[in-house]
Structure 1
């Protein structure tokens, strides 16, 4: 006979402590930049995708440290933020590493563009979701970068400022900018799928292949008698 046993799974206290530490470091980096910038334009500061994604990452890390929520909605949000941080790290490494992005110090630059993206993806793999997320759902995570790109293109001509060269049509024209953004969106969709796949691999490693989430947040496993 096959019975279903519900086994609650909690994040190890050491890992939750590490979330707290890196969340605090990320928060310090986010605060450090405006504190050391004269005449800061707050709208421009929060006009950087890096800043927005790091704000979300700090929320995920601190909430994960304090409350460690396990419901489906939170895991979808957590997966989305992991994608945005991976995008931040990859875009910086490929397109922005040689450009001054106004982080007011190498340590803040490293934290926002290198350290926290790595921490988010490691946390996603080591502490994967308790449920399976379909690739179709994972692809919906791309909505935020798309909305961000549209917002930036609309706001740019109004304030005569663009946060990144690759999204600045003043230097490369609207056609080249549009082509570049389409390529980026395709790349972002692939990143969504890859991050979701990494979470599934982590789930197989931690919970076993025959587990899936119960409505109460535990992990069901089949027991043969």
Structure 2
């Protein structure tokens, strides 16, 4: 009975991963098409800017992860990877809904893609995390490792922005806000990241109990 149920869970996991990753790749390809179609700079610069958005990079990570889960034979994985990715995409959704949604009003195909990247994928990953993460092994000591990607990302966009003048998000625009304000904003986002990570771990432990 246990083996039967285990196989059913694996089949469901792979099926959902496949469906979710197809949605993710569709949204990413659609956004890339729109970026090229509506470019205001050279192709090279457009591509650089496309890959400086945390939304894009995180959705790529999400889609790659789900693709691997959907097609790999071995379903064992290190606990915490799914939680880290879910934290990243949750931050994407939260910051967009609270801070960025009112800054523009996309229409047509752009609105569909926008909702998929910022609203649908975060919800789908939270569902996937709830169903399949190995919550018993989650530890607070894992959080510093989870921070490597967002901290490295922040450093890169600030360095590149200093030379190119382009910052992907208004709250890290050094030109308009200055170093102190950007540093403050980054600190608050870091605190939020740590708090959200701790919340996921706490919820995970509570669910297992």
Instruction: Classify the TM-score, shorter chain.
Output: 0.7 to 0.9
- Cross-structure match for 1:18: 16
CA distance in 2, matches of 1:101, 1:162: 20
* TM-score relative to the length of structure 1: 0.79
Q: CA deviation at 1:110?
A: 0.7
Distance 1:12 1:71, change over 3 A: closer
Check conservation: 1:125, 1:201, Cα contact below 8 A: no
- Cross-structure match for 2:77: 71
CA distance in 2, matches of 1:197, 1:16: 26
Where structure 1 has 5 or more consecutive residues not aligned to the other structure, the ranges are: 1-5, 210-225
Matched, 1:194 2:202: no
CA distance in 1, matches of 2:135, 2:196: 21
CA distance in 1, matches of 2:76, 2:201: 16
Structure ranking higher on relative contact order (CA contacts 8 Å, 6+ apart): 1
Where structure 2 has 5 or more consecutive residues not aligned to the other structure, the ranges are: none
Counting matched residue pairs gives: 197
Distance 1:89 1:66, change over 3 A: same
Q: CA deviation at 1:77?
A: 2.3
**Larger strand proportion of the pair:** 1
**Larger helix proportion of the pair:** 2
Q: CA deviation at 1:199?
A: 2.9
Larger radius of gyration: 1
Matched, 1:121 2:119: no
Check conservation: 1:49, 1:88, Cα contact below 8 A: yes
Check conservation: 1:70, 1:130, Cα contact below 8 A: no
Matched, 1:94 2:92: no
CA distance in 2, matches of 1:51, 1:148: 12
Q: CA deviation at 1:99?
A: 2.1
Check conservation: 1:82, 1:121, Cα contact below 8 A: yes
* TM-score relative to the length of structure 2: 0.84
Check conservation: 1:138, 1:196, Cα contact below 8 A: no
